[in-house]
Amino acid sequence: MAHNHFLVVGGGLAGLMTTIKLAEAGHTVDVVSIVPVKRSHSVCAQGGINGAVNIKGENDSPEIHFVDTCRGGDFLAHQALCKGMCYAAPGIIYLLDRMGVMFNRTPEGNLDFRRFGGTLYNRTAFAGATTGQQMLYALDEQVRRHETDGLVRKFEHHEYLGMVRDDSGTCRGAVVVDHRSMQVQALTADATMLATGGPGLLFGRSTNSIINTGSAAASAYLEGAVYANGEFIQVHPTAIPGEDKLRLMSESARGEGGRIWVPRQKGDARAPRDIPDAERWYFLEEKYPRYGNLVPRDVASREIFHVCFDMGLGVGAGMQVYLDLTHIDAATLKRKLGGILEIYEKFMGVDPTREPMKVFPAMHYSMGGLWIDYERTADGFIQLDSPRNHQCSIPGLFASGEVDYQYHGANRLGANSLLSCVYGGDIGARAMMAYAAGAKAGHAELPASARDAAASKWQGRLSEIGRMQGPENPYSLHRELGEWMNRNVTIVRHNDKLQETADQIQALMERFRKINVLDGAAWANQSVLFVNQLWHMLELGRMITLAALRRDESRGAHFKPAFPKRDDAKWAKTTMARWSPAGPQFDYEPVDLSLVPPVERKYD
């Protein structure tokens, strides 16, 4: 078999799964990651991974999982990819189990499963409340094994800057910078995968790690890749506020029986345990008797926002509600939710097994991302040997994981993200191999001039940033961007506020030119790197805001009070954004909804 050489950018679940699949087939892989791959943001995923293994005698099936996913996404996802993912899910969970992921067990020693949002089935496998960490470690270990065998070469503490392209515009690798030596180099490959995660930092504080700038995706967009459905931003209903970040309190807390409530009486100053049941308003259970506290995230976040902001019923008249676990016995909580209880206790100084947690929604996930293609079979599955799968609008460039836009439509169901990362990495790797097998020329035949041109473009960019000596502090500009995005481009959206935000971002882009880079060092200069990322965040933030402004309907996480209904006739379409010097250009592409016909989304 011919041996190819591939490049994977990003060492989270999607990137590592891609790497394992490629190395297992005997190919060599370069893995580029800002942090040692074991520290990637996937570690923050808490609650679990979905798969209809059906061990609880509920007659669950991949088909029901598929329908739940389409409906949870408010009918915006291309359905063949969702179908492929849901049918592959039980096998993926078994694979992770074989790799040694310490999933919780039933008394008989089988994998245990719990409830999650947007479904009525126990479909979520979990490892305490640190499932993402445990899965990432298992993949990290497998990659280390391939690294020991000489198939994988890691470039940790390296960051993606842009593409290497040939005369035809095909992506033939990437330019990366070493975070320590600041050396810029071009890495060539027969196909390149971007698995660089989401853009949480655009929103200032979010549940994301601080490495999640979206900079790589934004760079690809600036270099011509189409970015799709950028306006679909998931706000998680339950996080704890912090000065540096908003820490996630997993949906699994509600999956294990946690209840959301506020005192019925406005400004009730009593301690929560002194408020009798009859004087508590379990508003999700009351409004959604069938799904209760496990309505999808967009629904729960809107309700919490409404109760606190519009009705003024938040705990202590503030922006918070109770997430109550105190009725569940402490040993069970420790076994199933230990990780998040520790986080709450450590950062808030309160034991959540004794006192209800105080939580509020926080930006969490981007459903949108780089546009990717796919090829379906007649019966609605994915043609697995097609090079089109997960390929971006730029030939030779692929995307998987949160950075792509597929699978989750207008709202992602909890515990589907870990699944989409592993599935996307798997079928993305197969597509890369199919693409390389059919390519006319390999990476070794690329003229050195193409490599050098790309490297010197980015070398020039970093040098230019290194000379910026104006009055503006880049970290303060970033905070301002985050404040605008968080205020106006999250749970509730109004067109006048979106327009104002877009204008303000343009003003920030003007001020960007007057930045002071703060640091002149030629070694480990984080400020230069951040300023480069900041420009990308501004471009991405502007595009996301304008995409939200244009979509006059309400669908999943995108909610406009002025247009409260989903409008399938006009908007059952993917938003496709292309960068231009005059600002983002938008057009729209129909979505294949032929497998699960759209219905009104109801959870009450």
Partner 1 sequence: MTTAFVDLKIQRRDSAAANPRWEEFRVPYVPGMNVISCLLEIRRNPVTRDGRPTTPPVWEASCLEEVCGACSMVINGTPRQACAALVENLKQPIELRPLTKFPVVRDLMVDRAKMFAALKRVKAWIPIDGTYDLGPGPRLSAGEQEYAYLYARCMTCGCCMEACPQYHGGSEFIGPAPLAQVELFNIHPTGAMNRAERLEQILGPGGITDCGKAENCVQVCPKEIPLTDALSNLYRAATGQWIKGLFRK
The set of catalytic residues is 297
- Residue with Cβ nearer partner 1 (102 or 311): 102
Buried b (16+ CB within 10 A) or exposed e, 219-243: bbbebbbbbbbbbbbbbbbbbbbee
Cα 510 to Cα 187: distance, rounded to the nearest angstrom: 33
**What is the DSSP code string of 189-235?**
-SEEEE-----GGGGSS-SS-TT---HHHHHHHHTT--EE-TT-EEE
CA dihedral 557, 563, 569, 575 (to 10 degrees): -50
Cα 304 to Cα 110: distance, rounded to the nearest angstrom: 36
Residue 512's H or E segment, with its range, is helix 495-512
- Residue with Cβ nearer partner 1 (210 or 562): 210
Closest distance between partner 1 and the C-beta of residue 403, in Å?
Answer: 17
Task: Please return the burial class of 176, using the count of CB atoms within 10 Å of its CB with bins 0-12, 13-18 and 19+.
Answer: buried
- Report yes or no: 344 and 240 within 8 Å, Cβ to Cβ: yes
Buried b (16+ CB within 10 A) or exposed e, 116-150: bbbbebbbbbbbbbbbbbbbbbbbbebbeebbeee
Cα 258 to Cα 274: distance, rounded to the nearest angstrom: 18
Closest among 420, 382, 377 to 402, alpha carbons compared: 420
- Residue with Cβ nearer partner 1 (128 or 541): 128
Closest distance between partner 1 and the C-beta of residue 240, in Å?
Answer: 9
Closest distance between partner 1 and the C-beta of residue 467, in Å?
Answer: 15
Residue 65's Cα: distance from chain center in Å? 20
- Residue with Cβ nearer partner 1 (29 or 111): 111
Cα 530 to Cα 214: distance, rounded to the nearest angstrom: 12
- Residue with Cβ nearer partner 1 (189 or 246): 246
281 three-class SS: strand
- Report yes or no: 235 and 364 within 8 Å, Cβ to Cβ: yes
Closest distance between partner 1 and the C-beta of residue 325, in Å?
Answer: 18
Closest distance between partner 1 and the C-beta of residue 380, in Å?
Answer: 20
- Residue with Cβ nearer partner 1 (333 or 450): 333
Quick one: tokens of 603?
Answer: 């959870």
- Residue with Cβ nearer partner 1 (484 or 603): 484
- Residue with Cβ nearer partner 1 (135 or 321): 135
Closest distance between partner 1 and the C-beta of residue 110, in Å?
Answer: 7
Closest distance between partner 1 and the C-beta of residue 30, in Å?
Answer: 17
Residue 115's H or E segment, with its range, is strand 113-115
Residue with tokens 């205020």: 487
Closest distance between partner 1 and the C-beta of residue 244, in Å?
Answer: 5
- Report yes or no: 531 and 468 within 8 Å, Cβ to Cβ: yes
Cα 127 to Cα 113: distance, rounded to the nearest angstrom: 10
